[in-house]
Amino acid sequence: MNGIELKSPEEIDKMSRASKIVAEVLEALRGQVKPGVTTEALDQFAEKFIVDRGGVPAFKGYRVRERVYHHALCTSINAAVVHGIPSRQVLKEGDIIGLDLGVIVDGYYGDAAITVPVGAIPISTQRLLAVTEEALYKGIAQAVVGHRISDISHAVQTHAEAAAFSVVTEFVGHGIGRRLHEEPQIPNYGEPGKGPRLKAGMTLAIEPMVNMGRPETRCLEDGWTAVTCDGSLSAHFEHTIAVTDTGPQILTKL
């Protein structure tokens, strides 16, 4: 089926254990995000949390050709869309930060992301975060046996653009399981009714990336951090889900 692996209930159970740790870390990180904290400190907190619970940080040592990612957590601030590298950068009141991480348990992956405010943020920014998270759930609602991949994509795009935001097209969601990135790719845009048909046992990481301004992005010289070309704010939310005969099951939810 186009290289898409269907998972057994036992495999989904292993993914659930990894995903539960992901959800717990992200929830704990919410309480760590405040003005004056460095993204490096958030990364160290996340790695310790994962290891203490018997998981392995999935992003640490992740390789794309000659580039290696050296952290447990991606920290993407303000105009950074995804893949921001933890550093000594200090969070400021009014920032937003995307927190993205994966965990491995018994060889199976879970992956999720949230975007959270640093202190008080403007109403317009609150709306960006709310709409992006809503778009994630609109997409998940389409992950039903018999639907097609682009039904998820179309639901995300429609919701984001109805709020006058734009969806990032250079980065996509993905299948997940024994590898962090598996088939199929799941764009956050497109016409409905296209692509592979959804079947029970498919496991997907659905992840809208939504910009306040234009959709175009560029990569910084660090080789990882993607930012909006126009400097506008960007939000990112992600869940790992399983397609089941009774509807989508969110694995990375407490």
Domain count, the chain: 1
Considering the domain boundaries, does residue 145 fall inside one?
yes
Q: Name the residue with higher pLDDT: 2 or 142.
A: 142
Structural domain containing residue 30: 9-250
Indicate the helix (H) or strand (E) that contains 166.
strand 166-167
CA distances 175 to 1, 93, 120, 130, 243, Å, are 13, 36, 35, 25, 11
Considering the domain boundaries, does residue 65 fall inside one?
yes
Considering the domain boundaries, does residue 123 fall inside one?
yes
Considering the domain boundaries, does residue 3 fall inside one?
no
Considering the domain boundaries, does residue 185 fall inside one?
yes
Q: Confidence band (pLDDT; 50, 70, 90) for 215?
A: very high
Question: How far is it, in rounded angstroms, from Cα 175 to Cα 211?
Answer: 23
- Please compute the mean of the pLDDT values over residues 158-183 and round it to a whole number: 98
- Residue-wise pLDDT tens digits, 73-94: 999 999 999 999 999 999 999 9
| Those residues with Cβ within 8 angstroms of residue 110's Cβ, 6 or more apart along the chain or in another chain | 15, 16, 17, 18, 19, 20, 21, 22, 23, 58, 102, 103, 176, 240, 251, 252
- Residue-wise pLDDT tens digits, 52-66: 999 999 999 999 988
Considering the domain boundaries, does residue 2 fall inside one?
no
In this predicted structure, the answer to whether residue 2 has a pLDDT above a threshold of 90 is: no
CATH of the domain at 147: 3.90.230.10
- Please compute the mean of the pLDDT values over residues 27-53 and round it to a whole number: 98
In this predicted structure, the answer to whether residue 221 has a pLDDT above a threshold of 80 is: yes
Considering the domain boundaries, does residue 79 fall inside one?
yes
Global pTM? 0.97
Alpha helix (H) residue ranges in 142-193: 149-162
Q: Confidence band (pLDDT; 50, 70, 90) for 1?
A: low
- Residue-wise pLDDT tens digits, 132-147: 999 999 999 999 999 9
